[in-house]
């Protein structure tokens, strides 16, 4: 048991903190905007005083490129959700939602039903920090779960999930915290939930080479990759949420395929740098590229 001041939300706060920092940049310089992140982050007022430029500089002294990696992940999923939901998707399930605020900050169709899935403690804290008149709250249902102990399908169905409706699922920054078997079972549950529909899935995963050859998880010339890996994994373990599962691209492809999904994209910050950062004049130099986590989009095989 960790003595952390965080109550199961240390890593959820960590990601929200990067969204807060990015939201402090000038509108023509930022790649995402999350006006709600500040509600969830310990020390948010200090970060707001420090500002975007200095906070990013400080972060880059510790783990170069990690801020850019995390906000790139968020933007990649935002784009995926915004382009998919107006077409044929009627339900959105956010697995391990933490302090994700997509339900409230993106322009989503009013018919889209959103299920936020996470541990009860994290959801209680989240709900205590947002107001009843936050945009689109009427379309959000909170589903409390511990992926290790509860059945996702049972919890979703009892919360009003409709098996006949095409659904989009996102699992952002979660797979490294759960056992491989748990991820497999979760995917099996999802395959059972939507056997015939035109569903889509996003998952991020940490490259298993993080253990064997950390250098390949960063850009050419990245300074001290072993130190960066140690800092990230130690920080997560110190808040009671150690990284325990790592994958190869083939493993993820096979796992999704066995569970009725076929991979259509597998990207990292290196692939998205010119798409997201170059247009705002922030192209990330090669020796700052952080690509140990991959972003995967898959669609239902049917």
Ligand X SMILES: C[S@@+](CC[C@H](N)C(=O)[O-])C[C@H]1O[C@@H](n2cnc3c(N)ncnc32)[C@H](O)[C@@H]1O
List interacting residues with ligand X (CB under 6 A).
8, 11-12, 15, 96-100, 118-119, 122, 145-148, 172-174, 177-178
Q: Which is nearer to ligand X, 119 or 197 (CB)?
A: 119
What is the rounded CA–CA span in Å between residue 122 and residue 31?
A: 26
Shortest Å distance, C-beta 285 to ligand X: 25
In angstroms and rounded to an integer, the radius of gyration of the C-alpha atoms of the chain is 18
Minimum CB distance to ligand X smaller for 36 or for 222: 36
Q: Cβ 66 to ligand X, closest distance in Å?
A: 13
C-alpha span between 237 and 11 (Å, rounded)? 10
Considering the complex, what minimum distance in angstroms separates the CB of residue 94 from ligand X? 7
Kindly give, in sequence order, each residue whose CB lies less than 8 Å from that of residue 145, ignoring residues fewer than 6 positions away.
117, 118, 119, 152, 155
CB of 161 to ligand X, least distance (A): 17
**Nearest-CA neighbor of 285 among 187, 238, 218?**
218
Determine the 3-state secondary structure of 89 from DSSP. Answer: coil
Provide the β-strand partners of residue 118.
144
User: How many other CB atoms sit within 10 Å of the CB of residue 128?
Assistant: 8
CB of 38 to ligand X, least distance (A): 14
3-state secondary structure of 196: coil
Smaller CB separation from ligand X, 61 or 149: 149
Whole-angstrom distance, CA of residue 229 vs CA of residue 60 = 14
Cβ atoms < 10 Å from Cβ of 25: 20
Q: Provide the H-helix boundaries in the chain.
A: 10-23, 44-62, 66-84, 102-105, 120-129, 152-158, 180-193, 209-212, 225-238, 249-258, 269-272
- Nearer Cβ to ligand X, position 198 or 244? 244
Minimal distance in Å, beta carbon 196 to ligand X? 27
- Measured at CB, which residue is nearest to ligand X? 98
Q: Which of 89, 102, 170, 172 is nearest to 135 (CA)?
A: 102
Distance CA 63, CA 231 (A): 8
Q: Which is nearer to ligand X, 85 or 197 (CB)?
A: 85
113-126: burial string, b at 16+ Cβ within 10 Å, e else: bbbbbbbeebbebb
Q: Name the residue nearer to ligand X (CB basis): 177 or 246.
A: 177
- Pick the closer one to ligand X by CB: 139 or 144: 144
Minimal distance in Å, beta carbon 20 to ligand X? 11
Which residue lies nearer to ligand X by CB, 43 or 279? 43
- List all residues 6 or more positions away from 51 whose beta carbon is below 8 Å from its beta carbon: 24
CB of 286 to ligand X, least distance (A): 26
């Amino acid at each position: 048991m960790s003595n952390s001041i965080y109550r199961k939300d240390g890593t959820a706060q960590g990601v929200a903190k990067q969204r807060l920092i990015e939201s402090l940049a000038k509108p023509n310089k930022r790649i995402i905007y999350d006006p709600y992140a500040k509600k969830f982050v310990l020390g948010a007022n200090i970060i707001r005083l420090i500002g975007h430029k200095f906070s990013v500089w400080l972060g880059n002294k510790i783990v170069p490129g990690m801020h850019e990696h995390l906000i790139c992940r968020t933007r990649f999923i935002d784009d995926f959700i915004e382009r998919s939901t107006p077409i044929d998707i009627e339900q959105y399930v956010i697995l391990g939602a933490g302090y994700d605020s997509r339900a409230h900050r993106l322009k989503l169709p009013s018919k889209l039903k959103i299920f936020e899935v996470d541990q009860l403690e994290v959801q209680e804290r989240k709900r205590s920090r947002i107001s009843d008149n936050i945009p689109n709250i009427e379309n959000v249902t909170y589903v409390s779960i511990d992926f290790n102990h509860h059945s996702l399908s049972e919890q979703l169905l009892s919360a009003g999930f409709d098996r006949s409706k095409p659904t989009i699922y996102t699992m952002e920054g979660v797979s490294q915290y759960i056992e491989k078997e748990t991820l497999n079972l979760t995917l099996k549950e999802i395959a059972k939930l939507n056997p015939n529909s035109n569903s889509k899935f996003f998952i991020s995963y940490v490259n298993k080479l993080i253990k064997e050859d950390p250098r390949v998880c960063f850009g050419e010339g990245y300074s001290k990759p072993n130190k960066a890996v140690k800092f990230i994994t130690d920080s997560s373990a110190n808040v009671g949420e150690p990284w325990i599962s790592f994958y190869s691209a083939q493993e993820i492809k096979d796992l999704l395929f066995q569970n009725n999904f076929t991979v259509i994209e597998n990207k990292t910050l290196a692939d998205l740098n010119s798409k997201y950062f170059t247009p705002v004049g922030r192209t990330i130099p090669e020796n700052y590229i952080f690509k140990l986590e991959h972003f995967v989009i898959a669609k239902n095989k049917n």
